[in-house]
Structure 1
Amino acid sequence: MATTTTTTSTTPTKNMAAWLTAPKARPFTVAEAPMPAPGPDEVVVRVHAVALNPVDWFIQAVGIIVPADTGYPAVIGCDLAGEVVAVGANSVSSSSSGPASFAPGDRVCGLAGGREAGDFRTGAFQLYAKADRGLSAKIPDAVSYAQAAVLPLGLSTAATALFQKDALALPLPGSSSPSPSSSSSSFDKDDQKKKVLLVWGGRTSVGSCAIQLAAAAGLDVATTASARNHAYCRGLGATWVFDYHNDAAAVEDEICVGVLDAWSRGSIVQCARVVLKLDESGGGGTRTRKWVQTVLPSPEQVGEEVPEGVEVGYTYGTTLVHNEVGPAIWGKWVPEALASGALQCKPDPEVVAQDLEGIQAACDIGAEGWGTSSSPKLVVEFISE
């Protein structure tokens, strides 16, 4: 069994958190929390900014994910950015093909939580939080904590959907090899037409990351967005941007290597129709399966009658830490792309509060505005604690 060696740059003595004390409890209770200690593959971060995701206000409002009988009181929250204060034994070294190494004082962004199953007190909504080193990256000084905090969950979900072998299995950024063999994404590799990824919902958090990841992998990107967001999507690297009523006519004469529904709320059927249309027109290449990859974690959440003959893929955004996708994206591409400016922290953060007490207000704002792909990425900074 691996032992834990902890190195710290400071000696923090007190942690505070926004606690969810019971299912559907409101508001969050700000109170003292245990000081986290890193496991071998974890780092402890002094959190300076957190970004909110729909899952956060759904956990509070509906009582999902956290077990009612064993999970409370809980500290939730996914996206964080801050300064490393402690590292586990395995986190001080790295290899060219593995997760990155970290040291106290590093500025980082990452997904909150450790590797222990069933611990629901490790979320981002606290002053000191754990993050898996395989889902974390150093950030340059030119990138603020608020900017970096918008990336982790959206980027991890996009990378999982695009590159894992059980999803679209597209070539990784920087890879010179063809796409891995996959029944869901195979296409005619001898065809000289451009290879295009269709991202439905390019203005969403996942869509914004997916456009950039696919462009970095050498693909052309077609995406949907409202007219006011067309320039935004092109600025991220999309070649074509069209209204979702258009049915993706722009890619009919190209080879579509995959369809990612980054919205996945009432849009899966639309994406399925695009897949069928591309297949009829030859724009789907040589496929053995007709496939729409969604950002939903399970079929229970689909709620749509998908046309016969089209299969739906599901995405759980942290599974990339267990395969080659995690090190390739978080260990290599993210820090390099942030340093070079190739990766933009999008959507832009909207800072709505500056302390733990502001978590509830941020959740309320997010829940009220949920339902539009142009919703801002809400961020809470911790600067007064």
Structure 2
Amino acid sequence: MSTTHQTVILSHKGEPLTITTRPTPKPGPNELLIEVHTLAINPVDHFQRDYGVFIKDYPAILGSDVAGIIIETGSSTRSTLKIGTRVTALASTFFTPGNDYGAFQKRVLVKEDFVSVLPNSFSFVEGACFPLAVMTSWNGWIWAGLEPMSTIGSGTSTTTTTSTNEGVFVWGASSSVGTLAVQAAKLMGFKVYATASQQHHEYILGLGATRVFDYQNANVLDQIVSTARSDGVSIRIGYLATGDQQLAVNTLDALRGTDNAKLAIAPIVDSELKVPDGVESAFVSPPQDPDELRERSRSIFVNWLENKLAAKELVSSPHAKVIQDGLESVNGALDELKAGVSCLKIVVEL
């Protein structure tokens, strides 16, 4: 195996990424070295490139989502992770600082708790669509009071609702995070009331939503509330993946009746957001304590995602647009995402 590999680096804020070669690192005891076959682009990536968001030092390697094959294992990784295993992984410097860990490179180090085995029934393109969206959606649901696994390490026990009329609300359901939030809530047994552009309604219904509403409709708040009441569905938990934060808060406020409600918000919370009494909102984020973060990531990636992929209970979402020009195409992919996409995940093949 070569001792070096290609990567794209950000030398300074606001500059294009440039291709370079860097030494290939060795995995630590609980780490894996992955040969990246595909990487996916997320909105945070272009914010990092253009505005330096979440970057402490330059040069920096960006990116979070990869799928590929394990080419080297640490001394203490779990037995299911062997050389040659196909995996999907969250390869981000958000949680593990240092350029050995950023996704935009041909070989990347990943902590084992951020890795899920990728069955042969999923392509590498499909696999790259999962990691950050799964982590972000579950951080929101957990903050709101839901848990991916009721017993850490059990691999089988998933929290579900016992009520046939209990629902959740997902605003911006056609986004990458929104589609995974819909699927996770559906798998827990909730009725999912979602918003998306009209052209994506059938797709979101196919992912498990009970009702989908056009957020561009001037009467969307009244439509959601009246439909939920007509259906006899109680909604006290919401997730905003993207879109109008104030309208989402107002909608959940109208839905909650006399109960308290929680709205998890994936983007940075609008500083002018007015949250009424009875509704709590928060930016979704993982635990800051290292031990809690390990427990959280293992719960999500090992106990939930890995099991759901093996059982074929999840689909890769949203639709993938594949770019086959390797690392040279990452800048263009970031520009395309920045210009705006709808119900689309941009995936680069290496």
TM range (shorter): 0.7 to 0.9
Q: Within the alignment, does 1:49 sit opposite 2:38 as a pair?
A: yes
Aligned mates of 2:160, 2:349 — CA distance in 1: 42
Aligned partner letter, 1:330: F
Deviation at 1:341, TM superposition (A): 2.0
State TM-score, norm by structure 2: 0.87
Provide the identity percentage.
28
**1:318-357 correspondence runs (5 A):** 322=293, 324-357=295-328
- Report the counterpart of residue 153 of structure 2 in structure 1: none
Q: CA deviation at 1:121?
A: 4.8
* 1:52 and 1:363 in contact (8 A); partners too: yes
Deviation readout 1:183-234 (Å, 9 max, x if unpaired): xxxxxx8xx5511011111111111101111111121111111221111111
- How far 1:323 moved relative to its partner? 5.8
Match of 1:306 among 263, 269, 274: 274
8 A Cα contact 1:171 1:217, kept in partner: no
Number of the residue aligned with 2:335: 364
The residue identity in structure 2 corresponding to 1:57 is H
Going from structure 1 to structure 2, the CA distance change for 1:175 and 1:271 (only over 3 Å counts) comes to farther
Query: Which shows bigger deviation, 43-52 or 223-232?
Result: 223-232
Question: What residue ranges of structure 2 are gaps of 5+ in the alignment?
Answer: 150-155
| Structure-1 separation of matches of 2:246 and 2:199 | 24
Match of 1:169 among 123, 126, 145: 145
In the alignment, residue 366 of structure 1 is paired with which amino acid? Answer: L
Partner deviation per Cα, 1:4-40 (whole Å, 9 max, x = no partner): xxxxxxx3422110111122222x1111112122222
Counterpart position of 1:20: 10
Q: Name the counterpart of 1:8.
A: none
CA contact (8 A) 2:198 2:214 kept: yes
Tell me which residue corresponds to 1:226.
197
Provide closer, same or farther for how the CA distance between residues 178 and 235 of structure 1 changes in structure 2, counting only shifts above 3 A.
closer
Conserved? CA contact 1:115–1:132, under 8 Å: no
In the other structure, the counterpart of 1:269 is 246
SS in 2 for 1:356: helix
Q: Which 5+ residue runs of structure 1 have no aligned equivalent?
A: 1-10, 94-100, 180-188
> What do residues 48-67 of structure 1 show as CA deviations (whole Å, max 9, x unaligned)?
00000011111111122112
In the alignment, structure 1 residue 315 sits paired with structure 2 residue 315: no
Give the secondary structure class of the aligned counterpart of 1:357: helix
Superposition CA RMSD, Å: 2.4
1:1-385 alignment, distance < 5 Å = 11-26=1-16, 28-67=17-56, 71-93=57-79, 101-113=80-92, 118-163=97-142, 167-172=143-148, 175=157, 194-244=165-215, 245=217, 246-247=220-221, 248-249=224-225, 250-252=227-229, 253-263=232-242, 265=243, 267-280=244-257, 286-287=259-260, 290-296=261-267, 301-309=269-277, 310-316=279-285, 322=293, 324-369=295-340, 374-382=342-350
Q: Deviation of residue 134 (structure 1)?
A: 1.1
Q: Give the secondary structure class of the aligned counterpart of 2:140.
A: helix
Structure 2: distance between partners of 1:362 and 1:218: 36
SS at match of 1:55: helix
Deviation at 1:122, TM superposition (A): 2.2
Change (3 A) 1:332 1:358: same
Which secondary structure state, in structure 2, belongs to the residue aligned with residue 209 of structure 1? helix
TM-score by length of structure 1 reads: 0.80
Instruction: Judge conservation of contact 2:170–2:194 (CA < 8 Å) in 1.
Output: yes
The one-letter code of the counterpart of 1:210 is A
